[in-house]
Amino acid sequence: MRFIKPRLGLWQELDIKISPDLTDKEIDRSIKDTYDFVDGYVTTNATTQHNFGIGSASGDIVYAPSLRMQKKVYERLKGTDKNITACGGINSRERALERIEFEPQEDKRIQTLTGLLYGGPGFITDLKSGKFYKNGPEDN
């Protein structure tokens, strides 16, 4: 990663996506090994801890582990300039609001795939509407 960052444009960011399956020791090691080379962390991606056979799973099954991981990463990065992007099982305005609560930076970030796949463009419209913001879009 230290070789990638210098090749990025000033407007480009390098974020690392953290698995919801990591132990506390693995979280600490991941942050320690990447901290100086990244702009932020995405919590999280798909989980392999499920009962669906081989491979990874996303959507509802990853929401709780993703939220737990986001809280752990937030505690480790509180007071730093690193971005945290919430990801994993965000398929409603309520879940999006819950997830951005634990983001230290002013520009709250979420990443969604399953919510968009199942909700279609209307899902993004809901997120952008006043229904998404706690006090209305004029506050953001």
- The token pair at 9 is 């444009």
User: What does the pLDDT look like over 4-29, one tens digit per residue?
Assistant: 777 777 878 899 999 888 999 999 99
Share of the chain above pLDDT 70, in %: 76
Cis amide linkage into residue 112, ω under 30° from 0:
no
Please report how many Cα atoms fall inside a 13 Å half-sphere around the Cα of residue 2, on the Cβ side: 4
CA-CA distances (angstroms) from residue 66 to 7, 21, 69, 99, 116?
A: 30, 9, 5, 9, 17
- Comparing 58 with 140, which gets the higher pLDDT? 58
Q: What is the pLDDT of residue 135?
A: 45
Work out the mean pLDDT of the chain and round it to a whole number.
Answer: 80
Looking at 1.10.1060.10, 3.20.20.70, 3.60.15.10, 3.30.360.10, the CATH number of the domain 5-139 comes to 3.20.20.70
pTM assigned to the model: 0.77
Q: What is the pLDDT of residue 50?
A: 62
Q: In the chain, where are the structural domains located?
A: 5-139
Q: What is the pLDDT of residue 72?
A: 94
Rounded Cα–Cα distance for residues 56 and 69 (Å): 17
* Residue in the structure block whose two tokens are 């879009």: 137
Give the confidence band of 134 by pLDDT, cuts at 50, 70, 90: very low
Give the confidence band of 42 by pLDDT, cuts at 50, 70, 90: very high
Q: Average the pLDDT over 69-79 and give the result.
A: 91
* Residue in the structure block whose two tokens are 């002013």: 106
